[in-house]
Amino acid sequence: MSKVLIIGAGGVGSVTTHKCAGLSDIFTDIVLASRTLSKCDAIAHEVLKRTGKKITTARLDVDNVQDTIAFIEKMRPDVVVNLALPYQDLPLMDACLATGVDYLDTANYEPPNEAKFEYKWQWAYRQKFEDKGIMALLGSGFDPGVTNVFCAWAQKHHFDEIHTLDIIDCNAGDHGQHFATNFNPEINIREITQRGRYWEHGEWVETDPLAWSMDYEFPEGIGSKKCYLMYHEELESLVMHLKGLKRARFWMTFSQQYLTHLKVLENVGMTGIEPVNYKGQEIVPLQFLKEVLPEPASLGPLTQGRTCIGCLLKGIKDGKSKTLYVYNICSHEAAFKEVGSQAISYTTGVPAMIGAMLMIQKKWHKKGVWHMEQFDPDPFMDALNIHGLPWKAVEL
Ligand code: NDP
């Protein structure tokens, strides 16, 4: 018997709710709460149709910590799964602390007026979570999330030391739109337009945004794609937890069409996060842009093709050098057929469900605030194969 409270009725929230509903022996009660009740109800309707499971829905603005505390007190969930936006991480962690409930998210906290992608605000909760006897699992999506688990698994089973890590995120799908982002546009564009950064010999090295690229040959017929170096939040914890690491980088593929649109939007000031005065009203250009772009959840029926996200690791085992590539390929069409969402939401929503499941089963459970690579990777890797994200590891 367990109860999960899922916050956020967007693309990712929908997938996690479907996947939890498909495991009703583990998630006996499911509550989906978000700012817009109609979005929760639409997901509940789909979940009932697909899985036969009835879930509870509610309107809740989690920026109001007192309301959230009252809601959690009323519902008494075993775990709160935060699939709202990174701005909501701290208010939800505060509500979990006040009510003594475990917490999970898929993205690090972001202050609304700064693009930082840093964990320091959430690390500051470590002692408080430990003292309260509860757990926070940070970044249980794909990247961060599965990529951290791939690294932990490689470290446990394949390497004495990992010397270089390249996380390579390829979306070889196409939604046919002139310009759209596959997850929340505001967060996505903030992430991509920031300066690039990678870690080498104990130091962070900065690059201009998307200034470095490489061509990478992806497996299983996906072929060669241009990948751009950017900063991604999982690097911050991984560089602390991989033994012998000398360099860590993150790469993502973008089409030329996407980059051209982004450049124009940037050049005309539409990606800015500082408020501007428009006819007496303060508006944030990026937030306005989000309103006119397609919702990620609406891309499900339109997207075709596959994603391929993996870790390329080089290091030594028994004195010999070794290169390992651990990856998952996910089909947009298959994800849509199963849960009505495209693969970006799917590859994030499934690991969120798995993280919550392992916490409820106490297979992953420690007091305090933790990253994915700090737990035994084996049960998570097994669950990925069972629940829709099978992976492969190939020695190169
Ligand atoms: P969406 O924008 O589709 O959904 C976000 C949902 O959160 C919306 O339903 C929104 O409500 C709700 N929400 C926002 N603010 C509040 C609030 N104050 N109180 C209650 N609900 C709120 O985003 P996605 O589903 O694409 O992404 C969800 C999360 O997943 C993001 O944090 C994103 O960064 C993360 N992510 C992580 C990935 C990973 O691999 N680790 C990859 C992709 C995404 P409303 O509809 O009313 O606006």
Dump pLDDT digits (tens) for 4-43. Answer: 999 999 999 999 999 999 999 999 999 999 999 999 999 9
Compute the distance from residue 10 Cα to the ligand 1 centre, in Å.
5
Give yes or no for residue 134 having a pLDDT over 80: yes
Total residues found in the chain within this entry: 396
Q: What is the pLDDT of residue 243?
A: 93
Taking 90 as the threshold, does the pLDDT of residue 81 lie above it? yes
Domain co-membership, 75 together with 172: no
Number of domains in the chain: 2
Q: Mark which of 105, 138, 171 sits at the end of a domain.
A: 138
Rounded to the nearest angstrom, the distance between the alpha carbon of 61 and the centre of ligand 1 is: 12
What backbone torsions phi and psi does residue 376 show, to the nearest 5 degrees? -60, 120
Nearest to 59 by CA among 117, 9, 4: 9
What percent of the chain stands above pLDDT 90? 93
**C-alpha–C-alpha distance, residues 113 and 128, integer Å:** 26
For residue 79, CA distances in Å to 7, 17, 58, 223 come to 11, 13, 16, 40
Give tens-digit pLDDT for 145-196: 999 999 999 999 999 999 999 999 999 999 999 999 988 888 889 889 999 9
CA distances from 263 to 206, 210, 257, 260 (A): 20, 11, 10, 5
The model's confidence at residue 59, banded by pLDDT at 50, 70 and 90, is very high
Q: What pLDDT is attached to residue 116?
A: 83
User: 57 has which bridge partners?
Assistant: 32
Given a contact cutoff of 8 angstroms between Cβ atoms, the answer to whether 309 and 338 are in contact is no
CATH no. for residue 309?
Answer: 3.30.360.10
For residues 26 and 98, membership in a common domain is answered with: yes
Does 7 share its domain with 128?
A: yes
pLDDT tens for each residue of 360-394? 999 999 999 999 999 999 999 999 999 999 999 99
- pLDDT for 249 equals 98
Residue with CA closest to ligand 1 atom 13: 84
Q: Is residue 396 part of a domain?
A: no
Residue 84 has pLDDT above 90, yes or no: yes
Q: What is the pLDDT of residue 297?
A: 79
What string of H, E and C letters represents the secondary structure of the chain?
Answer: CCEEEEECCCHHHHHHHHHHHCCCCCCCEEEEEECCHHHHHHHHHHHHHHHCCCCEEEECCCCCHHHHHHHHHHHCCCEEEECCCHHHHHHHHHHHHHHCCEEEECCCCCCCCCCCCCCHHHHCCHHHHHHHCCEEEECCECCCEHHHHHHHHHHHHCCCEEEEEEEEEEECCECCCCCCCCCCHHHHHHHHHCCEEEEECCEEEEECCCCCEEEEEECCCCEEEEEEECCCCHHHHHHHHCCCCCEEEEEEECCHHHHHHHHHHHHCCCCCCCCEEECCEEECHHHHHHHHCCCHHHHHHHCECEEEEEEEEEEEECCEEEEEEEEEEEEHHHHHHHHCCCHHHHHHHHHHHHHHHHHHCCCCCCCEEEEHHHCCHHHHHHHHHHCCCCEEEEEC
- Give the ligand 1 atom nearest the CA of 186: 2
Residue 115 confidence (pLDDT) above 80 = no
Q: 27 in a domain, yes or no?
A: yes
> What residue's CA is closest to ligand 1, atom 19?
61
Residues 191 and 329 in one domain: yes
Please indicate, yes or no, if residue 310 is contained in any of the structural domains. Answer: yes
Tell whether 98 is covered by a domain.
yes
Atom of ligand 1 minimally distant from the CA of 88:
18
Instruction: With cut-offs at 50, 70 and 90, classify the pLDDT of residue 318.
Output: very high
User: Which residues is 164 bridged to in the sheet?
Assistant: 247, 314
Ligand 1 surroundings by CB, under 6 angstroms: 7-13, 34-36, 39, 60-63, 83-86, 88, 106-107, 139, 141-145, 183-184, 187, 296-297, 344-345, 348
Where residue 132 sits, what CATH number does that domain have? Answer: 3.40.50.720
pLDDT attached to residue 298: 86
- 262 touches 252 (CB < 8 A): no
248 with 295, same domain?
yes
pLDDT digits (tens, 9 = 90+) for 211-234: 999 999 999 999 999 999 999 999
Question: Do the domain assignments include residue 61?
Answer: yes
Residue finishing a domain among 340, 364, 388: 340
Instruction: Give the rounded distance of the alpha carbon of 113 from its chain centre.
Output: 21
- Single out the residue in 104, 138, 172 at which a domain terminates: 138
* CA pair distance 345, 316, nearest whole angstrom: 35
Q: Do 134 and 214 reside in the same domain of the chain?
A: no
According to the model, what pLDDT value does residue 185 have?
86
Domain annotation covers residue 366: no
Same domain, 106 and 244: no
Q: Check whether residue 18 and residue 72 sit in a common domain.
A: yes
Distance CA 198, CA 246 (A): 11
Give the residue from 307, 155, 312, 145 showing the smallest Cα distance to 232: 145
CB atoms within 10 A of CB 71: 21
With respect to residue 381, please indicate whether it lies within any of the assigned structural domains. Answer: no
345 within a domain of the structure (yes/no) = no
The whole-number average pLDDT for the span 103-126 is 93
Q: Give the dihedral of Cα atoms 391, 22, 5, 334; nearest 10 deg.
A: 50
pLDDT of residue 377: 98
Domain containing residue 276? 146-340
- The Å distance, Cα 294 to ligand 1 centre, comes to 14
Determine the distance separating the centroid of ligand 1 and the alpha carbon of 323, expressed in angstroms: 36
* pLDDT band of 296, cuts 50, 70, 90: confident
* 115 and 151 co-located in one domain: no
Distance from residue 342's CA to the centre of ligand 1 (Å): 15
Q: Are 262 and 281 contained in the same domain? A: yes
Supply the pLDDT for residue 3.
Answer: 98
Backbone angles phi, psi at 187, to 5 degrees: -70, -45
CA distances (Å), origin 231, targets 12, 170, 277: 22, 15, 31
122 and 171 assigned to the same domain? no
Tokens standing for residue 229? 């170096």
Would strands 102-105 and 320-331 be described as parallel, antiparallel, or unpaired?
unpaired
Q: Does one domain contain both 172 and 218?
A: yes
